Chains A and B, each alone.
Chain A
Amino acid sequence: MSFEIGAEGIDVERLMREVRETIEEKKRAGLLTEDEVREVTSHALHPVLLPHDLKSGLLPELLEQPSRWNFAFDADTVYRSSRGAAGRALEALRRALRPVQKLFWNPTPMIAALSRQKDVNSAYAHLLHNLVLEVTRLNLEIVDLKNRSLQLQARLDFLARREKTLESMALGPRAAPEREDGSA
């Protein structure tokens, strides 16, 4: 039994059975399917994310592993080697030959540019994070304003209907306009 009535003479069990049978009949007649019932029942209202509650996880994600998207660069990077002990010997040799190498080309502007690029990339990450946050926030506000305008539209429609009713009550049934020959 899913409901109760305080009235005497009502067989609640029977009433309940009849209600369920009616629903089943409607389903058999194709007016309603199980899927539709489920859809209506499980159509959840999703809580609203408020713009000031937005917390983008993009920035901490990017800052956690900068090596995945940015490069590390300093004045010694171009001379470094990753080949273990042999690499260390190679690095020492490169450093020793640096003055000679500088006779052929000047790596300093390149090193300065790439170092700056690394810093710029980090700044881009912050910028990207702020943009993501701001765009999401603006999207939410747009949805909010759209809903608000729909509500105002509904309110306006209701007021218009109310006004029409008021007019019809104030004026009564409108008389048919008289024709030129005087007949109604």
Chain B
Amino acid sequence: MTPAGRPRRVHQLLAALAYGDAISNEALAIQGHLRGAGFESDIFAEGVHPRMAGLARPLWQYAEVSSPDTVCLFHFSIGSAAARLAFHAPDRLVSIYHNITPAEWFLGFHPHLAGLCYHGRRELAAFAPRTELALGDSEYNRRELEAAGYARTGVLPIVLDLSSYRAEAAPVVRRLFDDGRTNVLFVGRVIPNKKIDDLIRAFALYQRLFDRKSRLLLVGDTRGHEKYYDRLQELVRERHVEDVVFTGQVDDDDLFACYASADLFLCLSEHEGFCVPLVEAMSFGVPVIAYDAGAVRETLRGGGVLLREKEPAVVAGLMHRVISDETLRARVLKTQVRAIAEVRAIDFGSLLLDRLAPVLEGHA
């Protein structure tokens, strides 16, 4: 403890420090700000991506820093050893919640994950009495925390380092997709709640009715969800949709090239706890059309076009308007510039310390 009685050690626990992952990047940003504010702050992770080696300590070393005076920021994740450790450690616990996809989304495609998600939500409730403070990265997530029985909750939005998007885009991918075709982009894991099937349906009509020379770029990891991916491939074949590209997980420079080549970002996901790609698309100046589900409205901050229904023909018509009507496109982009300005204006360091104040000031 510091002389003023404030805890001096604020460490983070998470299941995995992954490369190109918003949660991992947020953990690193939190660490940077905490260290800047004079706290001892390390990241302890169960798994560390080779590219992130050296940025996190192994989970078993947490015993060396664990004490009733240590504040543990635990990034909630399902079925991890980090969760068991956080629960049983004597530390003062702050849970950071990035959402758990409701189990029913995986029932038909990934029963094991459905089970994990189901138990994950029960585990979330079990953490409530143990947690001093719970932070959701959106108001939507905060409300879920409240519903799970957490007494003290707050919102700590994911704030992206927008300057990192100025890095050079991969020239090969840029050339590959900048071939005169209209590129409709979606970025996100290929999982059922993202409703990639709805994207394919809307795109099928768009391609057929408005633009034969168009391409649907689906950028995101398919691993672990092969069954859903199989069904999507079937849908593409049966509906005779041309040029649907599943890129799988890509490196950052490839991702930037996809954004740079995109004419439209379309998101018809039905469950989102935050949806980082929406912010990325807006910061790349790609007009966004997104279905109003979960935290999407919050993340868009009034930018882009927000859908209240997603009848494929209407979505296709709207896609055509946003892509081809220069005036409409410019106005939509203007809303996005405003939204991105709001994101830029957030002082994440101050916000973090403000949100953690109840625990750091020792008033809990």
Task: State the majority secondary structure of interface residues on B.
Answer: helix
B64 on the interface (CB 8 Å rule)? no
User: In the complex, which of the residues B171, B248, B303, B312 contacts A6, with contact meaning CB atoms closer than 8 Å?
Assistant: B303
Residues B312 and A37 in contact, CB atoms below 8 Å apart: yes
Report the minimum CB–CB distance from B72 to chain A (whole Å): 38
- Which residues of B sit under 8 angstroms from A4, Cβ to Cβ? 305-306, 308
A111 to B307, CA, bound (A): 77
Q: How many residues of A contact B (CB 8 A)?
A: 45
The answer to whether A26 and B314 touch (CB under 8 A), given A43-B238, A45-B197, A48-B108, is no
Residues B230 and A144 in contact, CB atoms below 8 Å apart: yes
Report the minimum CB–CB distance from B14 to chain A (whole Å): 30
B335 on the interface (CB 8 Å rule)? yes
Report the minimum CB–CB distance from A83 to chain B (whole Å): 57
A22 to B201, CA, bound (A): 18
Residues B172 and A162 in contact, CB atoms below 8 Å apart: yes
Residues A45 and B321 in contact, CB atoms below 8 Å apart: no
Residues A5 and B209 in contact, CB atoms below 8 Å apart: no
A19 to B232, CA, bound (A): 27
A120 on the interface (CB 8 Å rule)? no
- Which residues of A sit under 8 angstroms from B338, Cβ to Cβ? 6
Report the minimum CB–CB distance from A65 to chain B (whole Å): 33
Q: Which of B261-319 contact A (CB under 8 A)?
A: 289, 302-309, 311-314, 316-318
Look across to chain A and name the residue whose beta carbon is closest to the beta carbon of B319.
Answer: A19
Look across to chain A and name the residue whose beta carbon is closest to the beta carbon of B227.
Answer: A48
| Interface-located stretch among B22-30, B54-62, B149-157, B239-247 | B239-247
- Which residues of A sit under 8 angstroms from B307, Cβ to Cβ? 2-3
B328 on the interface (CB 8 Å rule)? yes
Report the minimum CB–CB distance from B151 to chain A (whole Å): 35
B162 on the interface (CB 8 Å rule)? no
Q: Which of B245-260 contact A (CB under 8 A)?
A: 245-248
The answer to whether A23 and B314 touch (CB under 8 A), given A6-B302, A158-B245, A165-B176, is yes
The answer to whether A18 and B321 touch (CB under 8 A), given A2-B314, A7-B332, A10-B331, is yes
- Which residues of B sit under 8 angstroms from A45, Cβ to Cβ? 197, 228, 231-232, 235
For A35-67 the 0/1 string (1 means CB < 8 A from B) is 001001101011110100100000000000000
A34 to B176, CA, bound (A): 36
A37 to B205, CA, bound (A): 8
The answer to whether A3 and B172 touch (CB under 8 A), given A40-B204, A48-B108, is no
8 pairs of A and B residues whose beta carbons are closest in the complex? A47-B108, A6-B302, A19-B317, A7-B331, A147-B230, A48-B227, A6-B335, A2-B309
